[in-house]
């Protein structure tokens, strides 16, 4: 294959964005912890289906109140009003919400291309932020949002909720304690079998939608009800399976292995169910190659290969990640972990934590643990105690940047190389 090289400008931007990965949060000298009994007023921006799922969890977090709502589509606002404070402020203009002094923090669940601009604006307005993944829509946004964090020093939680799940925290401890030896390969999957790609009436009343506000920084284009409902699969608004799904497990891999970014990526994608409907492929595979850690290099070992597969035409294995070590494998999904020793190392005892005994492996969601509730509680606790949340900006930038490199490899049909 020929090799596609990122420009030096892109590399410097990405490097600046990930430089804060190991830096502790520095807060303003005036910042004071918020008492456990003090109420935190929260504004919600982008009140579609994902936001309303988070609102149901947020309603269970003590001493919080959802007092302001923003969406470009009136129908979304009306549904969100049923979950928020009875007298919640509503608007189509998120700057009007950010201008309110009675709002302490905001939750952003807009389409991906709005995540970075809204988060930066919220920090500039003095708000702490919970923002859905992926944190960035373009590689260059990583530097912008990192610079904004350094300037405004707010508490920002990225919505990769695996970092707040107790069984994944425990699995990470076991891996880092050497229970599966040295990890050289990570295998990830997010497979679904879905007919959601079908075009047809989307039940969107364009008269109640501010399409221009929805577009934001995206190229001007005519209203399309399918794109409005399914924006994840169009390059102007989302980046497909890699940023929508892979970033969840990629963030876990980075967190467990102290990895930051791949050196290169190779990706192949196909259209099996969404041809002439989606712009992003419905079936995709990518290999990300990481340099050896300092410890691996000292021991003469190579780096880590991370492999991801995702599709919408077969649900085999579902959503999972496996860390493949020299002495064992750690399987993780959102409801369990299982440590399986290599046959040569049977002295390494199996271990497991299965939180949903009667449910199969690899589901998108499990009733236990409630990842949304745990992650939102972690964010609120971080605000109250003025400390780093479990999924900070540096982590969001890192996972998104690796996914962007994978998409770059797919779109150019070449090996994409980091920083050259």
Same domain, 102 and 170: no
Ranges assigned E (strand) in 53-175 = 64-70, 89-91, 105-108, 128-131, 156-158
Which pLDDT score is estimated for 31? Answer: 54
Q: Collapse the DSSP code of 374 into the 3-class scheme (helix H, G, I; strand E, B; otherwise coil) and give the result.
A: helix
Same domain, 149 and 294: no
* Exposure of 382 in the CB half-sphere (CA atoms within 13 A): 25
Same domain, 155 and 191: no
CATH number at residue 337: 3.30.360.10
Which pLDDT score is estimated for 15? Answer: 45
Which pLDDT score is estimated for 236? Answer: 98
Is 215 inside any structural domain?
no
pLDDT tens per residue, range 308-318 = 999 999 999 99
Q: Which two tokens stand for residue 4?
A: 């596609």
Domain range holding 106?
26-159+373-389
CATH number at residue 80: 3.40.50.720
Which pLDDT score is estimated for 25? Answer: 53
pTM: 0.92
Counting as low any pLDDT under 50, the low residues of the chain are 1-24, 29-30
Q: Collapse the DSSP code of 152 into the 3-class scheme (helix H, G, I; strand E, B; otherwise coil) and give the result.
A: helix
**Minimal CA–CA distance to 261: which of 3, 4, 6?**
6
Which pLDDT score is estimated for 108? Answer: 98
Tell me which H or E stretch contains 401: helix 393-412
Q: Exposed, middle or buried: residue 368 (CB in 10 Å: 0-12, 13-18, 19+)?
A: middle
pLDDT tens per residue, range 334-371 = 999 999 999 887 677 899 999 999 999 999 999 999 99
Q: How many domains does the chain have?
A: 2
Strand arrangement of the beta sheet that strand 328-333 belongs to:
3-5, 415-417, 264-270, 283-290, 304-311, 183-191, 319-325, 328-333, 336-341, 351-354
Same domain, 115 and 175: no
Is 219 inside any structural domain?
no
Partners of residue 105 on adjacent β-strands:
42, 128
Is 211 inside any structural domain?
no
Same domain, 88 and 192: no
């Amino acid at each position: 294959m020929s090799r596609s090289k990122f420009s030096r400008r892109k590399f410097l931007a990405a490097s600046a964005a990930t430089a804060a990965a190991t830096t502790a949060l520095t807060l303003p000298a005036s910042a004071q912890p918020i008492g456990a009994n003090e109420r935190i007023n929260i504004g919600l921006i982008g009140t579609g289906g994902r936001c309303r799922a988070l609102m149901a969890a947020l309603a269970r977090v003590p001493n919080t109140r959802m007092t302001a709502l923003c969406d470009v589509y009136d129908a979304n606002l009306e549904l969100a009003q049923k979950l928020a404070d009875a007298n919640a402020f509503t608007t189509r203009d998120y700057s009007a919400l950010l201008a309110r002094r009675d709002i302490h923090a905001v939750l952003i669940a807009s389409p991906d291309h709005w995540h970075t601009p809204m988060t930066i604006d919220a920090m500039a307005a003095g708000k702490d932020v919970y923002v859905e993944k992926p944190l960035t829509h373009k590689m260059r946004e990583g530097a912008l949002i990192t610079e904004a964090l350094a300037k405004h020093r707010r508490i920002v939680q990225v919505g990769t909720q695996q970092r707040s799940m107790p069984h994944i925290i425990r699995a990470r401890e076991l891996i880092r304690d050497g229970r599966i030896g040295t990890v050289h390969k990570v295998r990830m999957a997010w497979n679904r079998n879905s007919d959601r790609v079908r075009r047809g009436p989307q039940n969107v009343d364009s008269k109640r939608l501010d399409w221009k506000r929805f577009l934001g920084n995206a190229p001007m284009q005519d209203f399309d009800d399918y794109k409005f409902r399914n924006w994840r699969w169009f390059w102007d608004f989302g980046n497909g399976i890699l940023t929508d799904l892979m970033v969840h497990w990629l963030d876990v891999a980075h967190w467990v292995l102290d990895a930051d970014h791949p050196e290169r990526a190779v990706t192949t994608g196909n259209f099996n169910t969404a041809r002439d409907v989606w712009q992003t492929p419905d079936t995709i595979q990518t290999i990300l190659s990481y340099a050896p850690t300092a410890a691996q290099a000292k021991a003469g070992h190579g780096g880590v290969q991370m492999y991801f597969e995702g599709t919408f035409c077969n649900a085999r294995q579902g959503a999972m990640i496996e860390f493949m070590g020299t002495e064992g494998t750690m399987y993780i999904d959102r409801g369990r972990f299982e440590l399986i020793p290599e046959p040569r190392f049977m002295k390494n005892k199996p271990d497991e934590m299965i939180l949903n005994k009667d449910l199969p492996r690899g589901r998108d969601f499990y009733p236990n643990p409630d990842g949304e509730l745990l992650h939102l509680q972690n964010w609120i606790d971080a605000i109250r105690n003025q400390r780093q949340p479990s999924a900070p900006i540096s982590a969001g930038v890192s996972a998104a940047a690796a996914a962007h490199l994978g998409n770059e490899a797919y779109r150019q049909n070449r090996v994409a190389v980091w920083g050259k």
